[in-house]
C-alpha cells in the first residue's frame, strides 16, 4: 500500500511539471520566435511481482531455482527529467515593416546584452535614437562587424543577411530620408547579420525576453558558414511553434491523469486506514 501511495504521489508531481510546461507554452503562443517545451520524465526502477503461495527455493547443490513464478512487473513511479525545447520552424507572418526580420531555417540572431551575447529568433526590431538596430528592450543587434547602425528608409536586408544602404544618404546622420526620394542607387554593403548555431541546441538555456544563452553542454556559438545560413525574410516575423489546440488537448489529458493518481492515493489511504483500525481491534 505504501508503494501505491508513493507511486500515485510521484505521478501527481510529474503531471504538475507537465502542466507548468503546457501553461507556459500557451502563455507564449503569440510571442515571436518562441519555441515550445516538452516535459520529459523517466521511470523509477520496476519491481518483479511473484505469487506468494509458490515461494520457495530448490537447492541443486551447485545452483538453486526460485520456484515463485513471476507474474508481472510493478512500476514505482516517475520523476521529472528535463524540459526539452522543440526548435521546429514557426510560421512566418508578413508585416511589411523594414525592421522586422525572420529566420527561415536553423540558427539564431545575435544580440548584445550588457557585456555578453544572447541569441534570439524574435526579429521584431527597432532603430534607436543613435541609429542602431535594437530589440524592443533596447539591446543592440549584432552584425559580423559589431552593432548594426542604419538609417530609416535607407537600408535593405537580402536573404543572406547582408545589409545594404544607399551611400548618397549615409554620411549625414541628421539627414532624414523618405521612401519617395530614395531611388536606391549607389548601394553599398554595410554589414552582414551575425547568425550562429550550436553543436547541441537542445541544451541552450532560456533567458526570457525571447533570448537563449549558451551552456557548457550546448557548446559555444559558432558563426554559420555561407552554405548553411538560414534565409532572412525582411518584413516578416516568425511566430511561435505552439499549436494551441494541441496544447489544450494535452492539458485535458494531464488533468485526467492527475485525477486518476489522486483517486489511487485516496483508495490506498482508505485501505490503509481500514487495515490499521482492524489491527487495533485485534
Question: Do 120 and 67 have their domain in common?
Answer: no
Question: Do 266 and 180 have their domain in common?
Answer: no
User: Does the pLDDT value for residue 234 go beyond 90?
Assistant: yes
- Per-residue pLDDT tens over the stretch 92-124: 999 999 999 999 999 999 999 999 999 999 999
Q: Residue 237 — pLDDT band, cuts 50, 70, 90?
A: very high
Cα 224 from Cα 160, distance rounded (Å): 11
Total number of domains in the chain: 2
Question: Do 145 and 184 have their domain in common?
Answer: yes
- Continuous segment of H or E residues that includes residue 83: strand 78-85
User: Does the pLDDT value for residue 271 go beyond 50?
Assistant: yes
Question: Do 127 and 217 have their domain in common?
Answer: yes
Q: Could you tell me the three cell numbers for 43?
A: 521511470
Mean pLDDT of 173-199: 84
Q: Could you tell me the three cell numbers for 58?
A: 530448490
Question: Do 129 and 153 have their domain in common?
Answer: yes
What phi and psi values does residue 265 have, to the nearest 5 degrees? -65, -40
Instruction: Give residue 68's pLDDT.
Output: 67
Instruction: Give residue 154's pLDDT.
Output: 86
Question: Do 122 and 184 have their domain in common?
Answer: yes
Q: Residue 264's closest CA among 8, 77, 2?
A: 8
Cα 66 from Cα 217, distance rounded (Å): 46
Question: Do 106 and 230 have their domain in common?
Answer: yes
Q: Is 280 exposed, middle or buried (0-12, 13-18, 19+ CB in 10 A)?
A: exposed
Question: Do 13 and 72 have their domain in common?
Answer: yes
Instruction: Give residue 2's pLDDT.
Output: 43
Percentage of the chain surpassing pLDDT 90?
51
Question: Do 15 and 72 have their domain in common?
Answer: yes
- Which has more confidence, 5 or 238? 238
Q: What is the pTM of this model?
A: 0.77
Write the CA distances from 137 to 59, 155, 255, integer angstroms: 76, 22, 37
Q: Residue 251 — pLDDT band, cuts 50, 70, 90?
A: very high
Q: Is residue 32 within 8 Å of residue 238, measured between CB atoms?
A: yes
Instruction: Give residue 259's pLDDT.
Output: 85
Question: Do 211 and 103 have their domain in common?
Answer: yes
Mean pLDDT of 198-204: 91
Domain that holds residue 20: 2-86+242-281
Cα 217 from Cα 54, distance rounded (Å): 51
Question: Do 107 and 205 have their domain in common?
Answer: yes
Question: Do 81 and 112 have their domain in common?
Answer: no
Q: Is residue 109 within 8 Å of residue 121, measured between CB atoms?
A: yes
The region of weakest confidence among 24-38, 200-214, 255-269 is 255-269
Q: Is residue 130 within 8 Å of residue 149, measured between CB atoms?
A: yes
Amino acid at each position: 500500500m505504501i508503494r501505491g501511495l508513493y507511486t500515485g504521489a510521484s505521478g501527481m508531481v510529474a503531471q504538475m511539471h507537465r502542466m507548468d510546461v503546457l501553461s507556459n507554452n500557451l502563455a507564449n503562443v503569440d510571442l515571436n520566435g518562441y519555441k515550445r517545451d516538452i516535459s520529459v520524465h523517466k521511470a523509477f526502477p520496476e519491481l518483479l511481482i511473484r505469487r506468494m503461495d509458490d515461494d520457495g527455493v530448490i537447492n541443486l547443490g551447485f545452483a538453486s531455482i526460485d520456484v515463485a513464478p513471476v507474474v508481472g512487473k510493478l512500476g514505482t513511479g516517475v520523476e521529472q527529467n528535463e524540459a526539452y525545447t522543440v526548435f521546429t520552424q514557426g510560421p512566418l507572418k508578413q508585416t511589411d515593416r523594414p525592421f522586422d526580420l525572420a529566420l527561415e531555417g536553423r540558427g539564431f540572431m545575435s544580440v548584445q546584452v550588457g557585456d555578453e551575447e544572447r541569441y534570439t529568433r524574435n526579429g521584431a526590431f527597432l532603430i534607436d535614437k543613435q541609429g542602431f538596430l535594437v530589440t524592443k528592450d533596447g539591446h543592440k543587434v549584432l552584425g559580423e562587424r559589431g552593432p548594426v547602425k542604419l538609417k530609416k528608409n535607407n537600408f535593405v536586408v537580402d536573404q543572406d543577411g547582408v545589409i545594404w544602404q544607399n551611400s548618397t544618404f549615409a554620411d549625414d546622420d541628421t539627414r532624414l530620408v523618405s521612401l519617395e526620394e530614395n531611388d536606391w542607387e549607389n548601394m553599398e554593403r554595410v554589414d552582414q547579420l551575425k547568425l550562429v548555431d550550436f553543436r547541441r541546441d537542445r541544451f541552450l538555456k532560456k533567458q526570457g525576453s525571447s533570448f537563449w544563452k549558451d551552456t557548457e553542454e550546448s557548446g559555444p556559438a559558432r558563426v554559420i558558414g555561407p552554405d548553411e545560413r538560414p534565409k532572412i525574410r525582411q518584413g516578416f516575423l516568425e511566430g511561435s511553434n505552439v499549436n494551441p489546440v494541441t496544447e489544450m488537448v494535452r492539458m485535458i489529458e494531464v488533468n485526467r491523469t492527475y485525477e486518476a493518481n489522486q483517486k489511487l492515493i485516496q483508495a490506498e489511504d482508505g485501505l490503509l486506514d481500514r487495515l490499521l483500525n482492524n489491527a487495533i481491534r485485534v
